[in-house]
Structures are given as C-alpha cells and as structure tokens.
Structure 1
C-alpha cells in the first residue's frame, strides 16, 4: 500500500529536483558568466530583473512544490518497508531541503536583497562580490538538487 502511494511522489520529486537543478545548472555554467561579462551596472540590472521575474507560478511550483513533496517523503521514509529505499528517499529529501531550499533562503536570497537595495553608485563594487559569492552558493544548490534527483531515481530502482 505504501509503495502505491509514495512511489509516484518519489517519481515527481525526481523530476522536480531535476528541473530545479537544471535551472541552477544553467546559471552556474553560463548565465552568471554572461552577466559578469557585461558592464557592472548592466549585469546588476539584469540580475535584479531575473530576481523579480523568477518569482512566478511555474518556477515557484517546481521549487517549493518539490520541497513539500520532499517533506512528505522524508516523513514517510520512516515507515517505508525497504530500509535501502527509505534511506535513499530520506537522503534525497534532506539533500534538496538543506542544500537547495536552505542555501537559497540563507545565502542566495539575502544576496539578492542586498543587490536590490544597493544604490546605483555602489552597484559596481557590490556586483563583483555578489557575482562570486552568489555563484558559489548556486553551485551548491545545483549539486544538491541534481544529486537529490539521482538518489530519488536510485530509490525507484532498488
């Protein structure tokens, strides 16, 4: 019974973590590099626009919907009949919740807020540090999301 209820959620979580990881992968591999090649004021302005437009139903559903599914799966993992599957599901869920959601809330969003609040005269100085630090934390989110997806897929195959 538990498998019939939660296996579809594991499948959806695998897709969700992959989608979110793919978005972050794009930023880590070329978007931030491209923004960094722009004059600082233009790069900062583009990032500010991205930070506003990312708050939309499609991305937020993938991002936070996956988190909600991960919470449910983490709780359900304690009742899962297969110990191996339970451990994989719990590890995947925690990896996404801590490495993606946690890092976003504690690192990337405060950096975004700082960039949004800075006066245009200070943007160039803030932008250089923002670019390096934000991208570093985005690498963490990317790896956490993709690895969580891989663990969810492994859980479906054991």
Structure 2
C-alpha cells in the first residue's frame, strides 16, 4: 500500500488526504526496518525451499493509521488547522480487499524473529523523516510522480 507516503506528502503539500471507503479496511502494519531485518533473518537462518510470511502482528484499520499520521504531522509540521480536517473519504477501488493480514507465526517460531518497532513509534519516525527530507521526495514529485488515485477505469 502507498497509504503512508500518500498521506504524509499530500498533507505536507496542503492537499486533501484521501481515504478509501470508510477507512475500515484492515492491514497488518510493519516498519520497513523490521521488514528488512526479517528478510536478513530468513537469509541467515531460514531453511532452503521454505516460505516465511513476514508480518507485524499489528493489524489496524486504515483510518486509525491515517489519524495517527495526522497527529504526528500536527507535531512535526503544524498547519493552520489539524491535518485530520483534510481527510476526505473517497469511493473505494473496485475489488479492493477489506483485510490484508499475515500469519507470521512460522518466522517467529522457527527463526525467532519478531518486529521491534511498535506501529505508533514507526509512524512517528516515518513522518519525521518525510518532514526532514522534503528535498528527497520533492525531487521525485518533480520527475512526475503524483499521489493521485490508482485503479479506477477512465482515469478517475
């Protein structure tokens, strides 16, 4: 999902923050550093030919994550009004799954890996990184990347 960069960048640009449907879709959230560590753990200790699902054991509704991001944005990049006021509920993508959840018990039980970064801390660190590195993401925007909707016919 592109939820986090879309929310943070659009908020920093003063744009609305689109949330699909009513925001009740559930996702298993995992910090990128934890994901990288899990991959290295599999490379180091995993059994050849086995499959290991990597998950955060931290399911949350999208709207909950968006609100947490908005609270962090209010701390690191305050605006005239709370960032949550920019949330805009939009029509969900056709066929969009309601729940993405991962059973990470095998990597935990066999390889001893568990995520280290709690979701609130990871979101806080991510927002701070985007605020402190605006030149990096702005260069990507300048090359033509937009955070507009994907997955609808007719370009809508």
Question: TM bucket by the smaller chain?
Answer: under 0.3
Q: Say which structure is richer in helix.
A: 1
Please give the TM-score of this superposition, normalised by the length of structure 1.
0.25
Which has the bigger relative contact order, CA under 8 A and spacing at least 6? 1
More strand by share: 2
Give the TM-score, by structure 2 length.
0.25
